[in-house]
């Protein structure tokens, strides 16, 4: 990375980004935006099409996982209003937590992923999380740049990962962050 500056909350500028808990009424947004082929193909577990009933089931499942395992799933808001994407923290069996996110196409390249991830890192710190991992598909280098700006470092691990949006495997890279 050419610029070694790690972003802090004070360094985040540009349009306001907020997070809120996912609600069942967000299913239409998930169905439309996450299910778009350009978005789903950059994720592992999002199918395309992503029907509204499936999105409702996903939200209910994530609520149950939050109660049992502590998963966090938040809507990324552009300002205080429009949903821009989803971001989550998920516990792993090795003691680390995994960070994942996606943005609606209309919100790409505006800094929302970076700002939302910074907010989730703050939440992880308050939860006592000490190690995070994140993955990105090699043909989505913008996602890797977001993670590196936040202080994640590449592990050198590269593997073929399943993508529901592709109905096949794609090369995946892993990064880690110690809090």
pLDDT reported for residue 88: 96
pLDDT reported for residue 4: 42
pLDDT reported for residue 5: 40
9-178 homologous superfamily: Gcn5-related N-acetyltransferase (GNAT) (3.40.630.30)
The side-by-side arrangement of strands in the sheet containing 17-21 is 17-21, 72-78, 82-91, 97-103, 131-137, 168-178, 153-163
Output the 3-class SS for the chain. Answer: CCCCCCCCHHHCCCCCEEEEECCHHHHHHHHHHHCCHHHHCCCCCCCCCCCHHHHHHHHHHHHHHHHHHCCEEEEEEECCCEEEEEEEEEECCCCCEEEEEEECHHHCCCCHHHHHHHHHHHHHHHHCCCEEEEEEECCCHHHHHHHHHCCCEEEEEEEEEEECCCCEEEEEEEEEEEC
pLDDT reported for residue 166: 95
Q: Is the peptide bond before 156 cis (omega within 30 degrees of 0)?
A: no
pLDDT reported for residue 130: 96
What are the structural domain ranges in the chain?
A: 9-178
Query: Token pair for residue 62?
Result: 């994530």
Which residues of the chain register pLDDT less than 70? 1-15, 80
Contacts of residue 114, Cβ cutoff 8 Å, sequence gap at least 6: 7, 12, 146, 149, 150
């Amino acid at each position: 990375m050419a610029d070694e500056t790690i972003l802090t909350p004070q360094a985040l500028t540009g349009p306001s980004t907020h997070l809120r808990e996912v609600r069942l009424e967000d299913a239409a947004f998930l169905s439309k935006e996450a299910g778009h082929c350009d978005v789903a193909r950059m994720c592992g577990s999002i199918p395309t099409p992503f029907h509204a009933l499936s999105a409702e089931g996903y939200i209910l499942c994530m609520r149950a996982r939050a109660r049992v395992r502590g998963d966090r799933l938040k809507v990324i808001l552009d300002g205080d209003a429009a949903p821009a994407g989803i971001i989550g923290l998920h516990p792993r069996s090795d003691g680390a937590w995994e960070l994942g996110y996606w943005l609606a196409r209309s919100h790409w390249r505006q800094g929302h992923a970076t700002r939302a991830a910074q907010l989730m890192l703050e939440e992880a710190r308050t939860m006592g999380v000490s190690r995070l991992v994140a993955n990105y598909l090699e043909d989505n280098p913008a996602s890797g740049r977001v993670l590196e700006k936040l202080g994640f470092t590449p592990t050198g691990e590269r593997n073929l990962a399943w993508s529901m949006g592709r109905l096949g495997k794609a090369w995946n890279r892993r990064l880690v962050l110690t809090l």
